[in-house]
A and B are shown apart, each in its own frame.
Chain A
Amino acid sequence: MLKKLKHHQYGYLFIAPFIIAFLIFSLYPVLNTIFLSFTDRTLMSRTFNITWFRNFQLLFADKTFITAVKNTWQLWLMNFIPQMGIAFLLAIWFTNVRLNIKGVGVWRMIFYMPNLMMASAVAALFFSLFSFYGPVNQFLVRSGFIPEAIDFIRKPAIMRGLVVFIQWWMWFGQTTILLMAAMTAISVSLYEAALVDGASTMQMFTHITLPLIKPVLIYVLVTSLVGGMQMFDIPYLLTDGRGSPSNSILTNTINMYMKFHSSKGHIGAASAVGLVVFLMTSIVALLIFFLLREKKEQPEKQGARR
């Protein structure tokens, strides 16, 4: 059978496993989710009705859903912006020929370390640290910073800050490594030429580094966006799994999981949340591609870089 294939068609064989797995494990679930979102299906009954847009109607009338969408964006932006800032700074320092920092490998490893820890372990650690009878309160009271213990777990601003911090702490190493990889790939001769022409460090950064790492930037931005829109494990495990206190760390995915996990298992309503999040993420990701598109280069090249 293989003999019948022309030489240039072998490629199809090689990509077949991915395509098949994609159709079964990604496309089918997505289509099924879309179908479910138009039904009032629950896990506890054998029958269900097609209710068309009722789930969406209820969803947009539901303050909790709006809160969850807002929270998700806030939590993502608040951790992504400092994450990019720090990652840029570190990547520039580490790749700078003039600074020539020693032990880059060790630093890189240390920064990447938090990412290797299980989210559940990190969440449990921070929960214990900040609980009412926990060590943070003990330290602050005994050293006289605060007169009496604070119930951190019940303070919305503090818990939100914690989630942002944990997300930042777990992911800035990853972003640093990606940016460093992109920066080291830039030919040194470009910088040398710029130096000869008398360019400042800032000029080199904006005119050489930034344009050349743009594909990687887009990649980091889009993957972080997709990950951020689906933020689940840390906020879910940090408090009661319902985004408490006062829904301050309730994210889209927690909201979806709560609908699925309520006593009846409303998968129709949960799928509607999933679909809205999916559409929202896709539109914003497209927008990012559109705004950051390379105006002169060939599109194939962009694809190849990623």
Chain B
Amino acid sequence: MKRLFGILSVVIVLSMLLAACGATPAEEPAVEEPAVVEPAAEEPAAEEPAAEEPVVVEPEAGKTVLNVWSFTNEILTMAVAFEKTHPDVDVVYTMIPMTNGEYQTKLLATLGTDQVPDVVALEAAFVKSYVESDFLADIGDLQVYADELKMYPFVYEVGMADGVHRAYAYQATPGALFYRRSLAKEYFGTDDPVEMQELLGDFDKYIAAAEVVKEKSEGNTYMVASNGDFQNLFFANREQPWVVDGKLTVDPMVEKMIETVKTFRDNGYEARATQWQEGWFAGMNDTLQDAAGNPKKVFSYFLPTWGLPYVLYPNSTSADGASTTKGDWAVIEGPLPYQWGGTWLGVMEDTKQMDLAKEFIRFCTLDEENLTNWATGVYTNEYLKAIDPNVPDDQYQAAGDFVGSQVVVEKITASFDDSEMSNFLGGQNSYGGFAAAAPSVNARLMQGSDDAIQRALNDPLNSYLEGTVTLEEMWTLWKDAVRNEFPDLIIE
């Protein structure tokens, strides 16, 4: 008996030790114990060996400190510009990458502790869950500025829950369709954006065009690179949100999306690449090859505003420089209006600098001069260095980001007629293209649980496309996955 007890205690201690090691992700963010939660603001650099280095600007003496957290170094530019108009303020900017969700994890872990920043940047995938949470302050008094600047409604609607404004964005991210001019000429006899919009104006037309592309290229050109490209479009055009009265709801548009991607897969209109993976990028610079080494082309990509300067443009030349598609692109509204991504700014309710934090958000998102400077390339590195000499050498904002204010957009569109991006689009004014698409975007259906619910569909959908499960089984798999992540949701 004594021996058994000895073994028992050894086992319990050992397994507890090891089990506790593995269980930490669930426990660390426990709010009762702020001492265990890491002081993330102080040393993210030590732990995140990610591609992008976190930037932490040290506070200066004698100034009011405003803590801002973000997942890119984009907003640092505005933070520096803010210090120019507010010389008594020191914005302490902390960048935590979100490559593998580090940013969300850090932010979740600080909620309700005294480590929370004053202002947080929130990405489209998770902005809504914060807007719906108990932790963002009501900043509705800024709405007057938003009305004045005629912000696109979907931009501030995303930041609203139960009629309360909790976040604003400086950019609008309407989606568009980018296509290859040379291929359009070859298959449709025209590369003119107006005529192409006629040809691809709704999904029936788009599918018919995919057949034309396949036939005329003898299967060597795909209409799209991946089935993931479609999803945002259909999700954005639903009539019901995913969750209605606590119940999981499938809008007919979702069924239509599944039908469409199945058509594309079965008919070989889709290159079967994966978004953000090798093959998807290879199509952008015409270096896509199938496994046998045959060259393949991709006719069109669904990308939003930021997709042009940050995704399509940098990937339009192959790594060895031998193949480029620069100047061979054009942009149209495409078959359906949608929006994709974007960065919102909110104030943490526990902040001790409420007024200053609100002023920072007003400046970043609802200030005509700032937005104009932001979009037209005024914030060069020299400009920022003149304000704060410690700004990194690669910190600047190139012209071309699409801002959320119609007033500003209308004023500056003409200035992009001869920009680098417009040359990239064969002379088409990209800003004008986005301005045409933006007003029809609707984001009223967005909910905090969207991202997780949509992600849960990816794997069952791909299994269905692959033919390993039936349509029926796909829905069951998806519902099981959703149930797993949302224990309180009613699922039939």
Contacts and interface: CB of A to CB of B under 8 A. Distances in A.
Indicate, yes or no, whether A interacts with B: yes
B22 A132 contact: no
Contacts of B469: 246
A44 B274 contact: no
Given A285-B11, A299-B2, A30 B483 contact: no
Interface string A283-304: 0011001100100001110110
B14 A285 contact: yes
Interface in B470-490: 477, 480-481, 483-488
A289 B477 CA distance: 38
B467 to A, nearest CB: 10
A29 B6 contact: no
10 contacts: A29-B20, A32-B30, A36-B26, A132-B273, A141-B290, A154-B463, A256-B25, A264-B133, A265-B29, A299-B7
A134 B112 CA distance: 45
A142 B291 contact: yes
Nearest to A219: B14
Given A132-B272, A141-B292, A263-B448, A246 B463 contact: yes
Interface in A253-306: 253, 255-267, 269-271, 274, 277-278, 281-282, 285-286, 289-290, 293, 298-300, 302-303
Contacts of A33: 23, 26-27
Contacts of A258: 484-485
Listed from nearest, the 3 A-B pairs whose CB atoms lie closest are: A230-B22, A244-B459, A299-B3
A197 interface: no
Contacts of A27: 16, 20
A230 B7 contact: no
Contacts of B290: 133, 141, 148-149
B24 A156 contact: no
Interface in B1-48: 2-3, 6-8, 10-27, 29-30, 32-33
Nearest to B13: A22
A112 B122 CA distance: 43
Interface residues of B, number: 78
Nearest to A68: B484
Interface of A: 22, 25-30, 32-33, 36, 40, 43-47, 55, 58, 62-65, 128, 131-134, 137-138, 140-142, 148-149, 151, 153-156, 222-223, 226-227, 230, 232, 240, 242, 244-247, 253, 255-267, 269-271, 274, 277-278, 281-282, 285-286, 289-290, 293, 298-300, 302-303
B452 A278 contact: no
B451 A263 contact: yes
B466 A64 contact: no
Given A259-B485, A289-B7, A140 B22 contact: no
Q: Is the interface of B mostly helix, strand, loop or mixed?
A: helix
Q: Is the interface of A mostly helix, strand, loop or mixed?
A: helix
Given A156-B468, A263-B129, A289-B11, A45 B273 contact: no
A205 B112 CA distance: 60
Nearest to B128: A263
B2 A62 contact: no
B278 interface: yes
Contact of B26 (A47, A55, A260): A260
Nearest to B448: A263
A62 B479 CA distance: 10
A196 to B, nearest CB: 35
Given A44-B135, A285-B11, A263 B449 contact: yes
Contact of A43 (B7, B108, B455, B477): B108
A26 B108 contact: no
B334 interface: no
Given A44-B129, A133-B279, A242-B456, 11 more contacts: A30-B23, A43-B29, A63-B480, A133-B273, A133-B278, A141-B292, A142-B291, A149-B290, A227-B18, A263-B129, A269-B487
B484 A44 contact: no
B459 A246 contact: yes
B463 A282 contact: no
A302 B455 CA distance: 50
